[in-house]
Structure 1
Amino acid sequence: MIDDQNGVWLGRVWLPEAEGPAVVTLRGGAVYDITSPVAPLVRDICEMEAPADYVRDAPGFRLGTLEEVAAATPGDMESIHFLSPCDLQAIKACGVTFARSMVERVIEEKAAGDPKQAEAIRARIGTAIGDSLKNIEAGSEAAAAVKQALIGEGLWSQYLEVGIGPDAEVFSKAQVLSSVGPGAEVGLHPVSSWNNPEPEVVLAVSSAGRIVGATLGNDVNLRDVEGRSALLLGKAKDNNASAAIGPMIRLFADGFSLDDVRRAELTLTVTGEDGYTMTGHSSMSEISRDPAVLVSQTIGRHHQYPDGFMLYLGTLFAPTEDRDVPGEGFTHKPGDRVVISAPGFGRLENTVRLSTECPPWTFGVRALMSNLAARGLV
């Protein structure tokens, strides 16, 4: 779950005796509760001038070993288990930030969400677009020239606009407190028959726009729904249990910085109950816009986030290999086990279900505030 315990880690667990969440860190291979009236929320720590220093020195008490807590069943209100590591932060996401995934988004659009048509379109235009976009800096004069050339070829798309144009795609991925953590079930809307995981780095950003740490995320994607119309992005992205984040936020400190995000190498493994296995990779070095630029396009004078935000950075991964029917590519099946990992970031594991079958989200902001007040923390 956590591969480098020398890092400064910040997360959340469910605390049965408190009937609510606790803010935790790792020390010597154990999970420590550092919740206090000074910082009852992860949000509060991320707003501090030096979050890592606070977490290192914060008093706390031991809840159990990392292995013991990680082994607990998410959703079991009688056991201490990991939650998504964010609380009051808005959950935002960037799309189409890698050239290779840009090509697949164009294909989705041209195929109108039909996987059978996608294979033929991929063969016809995929290589041409990919070659045109290689090493193009988004928003540059060179990108503008490519845009004009693609318009001339009849290949222009709204996905290429946000991929290489001046403005990044930034959308709301999930509601505050609705994301799920390590070990939890992730949800697919039952209307979808063509979907996939999206392994991504997720930044923790303060209300001042300062990036304070990073973790991993699965930006579950419904390719058929979004492919039918970009106006269905909300339905394609924001459903019960459709946003996974974790295992914990690694705070920027000595030995871990934004440069480690820029160099991150993500590995994805999907294992089905039918014996199917797929592996994938996403290299942050190939991102078309720097993470700091994506943050600056999300927050500023044009948009504020008083409680900070979590920002999915997009993925290079776009599966095209067939799972069942030749020409129809990959899609999830209930029971798929999804593992996303990266050196220095840990491992995020989740099991795929329909959103209608995942545990419903019931612990919202009102419940959280009532719980903290009852515990004398606010």
Structure 2
Amino acid sequence: AKFYDLVYKAQRPELFFKSPPAKVASFGQKVRIRKDSKWSVPEPELTLVVSPAGKIVGFTIGNDMSARDIEGENPLYLPQAKMYSGACAIGPVVTLARFLPQGEACSIHLQIHRAGAQVFEGKTSLASMARKLEDLVSWLFKENDFPDGAFLLTGTGVVPPDQFTLHSGDVIRIEIAGIGVLENTVE
């Protein structure tokens, strides 16, 4: 926990490569949990659509699947915990930047259903974000070029409790006000 306290208080944000486009799921497609993980969770995230010039042009919804046990074992295992086939979903649409609600009005809502019953629900809002969206983009573009633009998942404020893990067949539903709903089933 002390390691992440340092990350969250640092001037430099935590940024990492999540997935090549071919490994990203869209609405209705399956996401995965790692076979070698016993504790996996979704992380609902506002996702920025960024132009090649580094300007935020739109927003969509992201699901940053995470193997918490692997990440917790050693912070250097973060790439293994977050970057694997089926570890990211994005969609269902792109909302133009000028239409996104601001602050508390931009709610981020996560529901997880198992065998038809809701087993987890959590909610946060854009107002709870620790960093400004433009600052995240600025850091991303400092030493990188993105000739086709980029999708930047902004981090989560909703994580299921430590005793919760995803199971095959779970349905993950992420809703962000002004954008819509991203829904995926766990393979």
TM over 0.5, yes or no? yes
What range describes the TM-score normalised by the shorter chain of this pair? Answer: over 0.9
SS of 1:171's equivalent?
coil
Instruction: Give the structure 2 partner of residue 11 of structure 1.
Output: none
Other-structure match for 1:168? 13
Equivalent residue in structure 1 for 2:158, among 317, 327, 352: 317
Out of 274, 283, 293, which is 2:125 matched to?
A: 283
Secondary structure at 2:16 match in 1: strand
Distance 2:118 2:21 in 1: 34
Is 1:339 aligned with 2:184? no
Structure with greater helix share of residues: 1
The structure 1 residue matched to 2:71, chosen from 193, 204, 226, is 226
> Could you list the runs of 5+ residues in structure 1 that have no partner in the other structure?
1-105, 107-156, 321-327, 354-378
> How far apart are 1:238 and its partner, in Å?
1.1
Give the conservation status (yes or no) of the 8 Å contact 1:218–1:244. yes
Task: Give the deviation of 1:172 after TM superposition.
Answer: 0.5
Q: Alpha-carbon deviations, 1:78-126, whole Å to 9, x = none? A: xxxxxxxxxxxxxxxxxxxxxxxxxxxx1xxxxxxxxxxxxxxxxxxxx
| TM-score, normalising length: structure 2 | 0.93
Identity of aligned residues (%): 35
Give 1:265's match in structure 2, choosing from 87, 90, 107.
107
Q: Is the 8 A contact 1:180 1:244 kept in 2?
A: yes
Higher RCO by CA contacts (8 Å cutoff, separation 6 or greater): 2
Question: What CA deviation, in whole Å up to 9, does each residue of 1:239-270 have, x standing for no partner?
Answer: 111100000111234xx15xx35442111110
SS at match of 2:7: helix
Structure 1 CA distance for aligned equivalents of residues 103 and 20 of structure 2: 27
- Taking the TM superposition and a 5 Å limit, the aligned residue runs for 1:130-145 are none
Q: Are 1:294 and 2:128 counterparts?
A: no
TM-aligned CA deviation for residue 185 of structure 1:
0.6
- The Cα offsets for residues 217-240 of structure 1, whole Å up to 9 and x where unpaired, read as 110111001001111111111111
Write the mapping of 1:1-378 to structure 2, written as runs, cut at 5 A.
106=1, 157-253=2-98, 256-257=99-100, 260=101, 262-263=103-104, 264-273=106-115, 275=117, 277-300=119-142, 302-320=143-161, 329-353=163-187
Larger Rg: 1
Partners of 1:298 and 1:330 lie apart in 2 by 32
**Structure 1 segments of 4+ aligned residues over 6 angstroms from their partners:** none
Q: Is the 8 A contact 1:208 1:308 kept in 2?
A: yes
Secondary structure of residue in 1 paired with 2:184? strand
Aligned residues: CA RMSD: 1.5
Q: How far apart in 2 are the matches of 1:274 and 1:210?
A: 41
Q: Aligned equivalents of 2:102 and 2:16: distance in 1?
A: 21
Matches of 1:230 and 1:268, distance apart in 2: 25
TM-score with structure 1 setting the length = 0.47
What SS does the aligned partner of 1:234 have? helix
**Structure 1: distance between partners of 2:15 and 2:44:** 17
Contact 2:120 2:160 in 1 (8 A): no
Q: Which has the higher strand share?
A: 2
Secondary structure of 2:160's partner?
Answer: coil
Q: Helix, strand or coil for the counterpart of 2:166?
A: coil
Shift of 1:276: 5.0
> What is the CA–CA distance in structure 1 between the aligned matches of 2:103 and 2:16, rounded to whole Å?
21
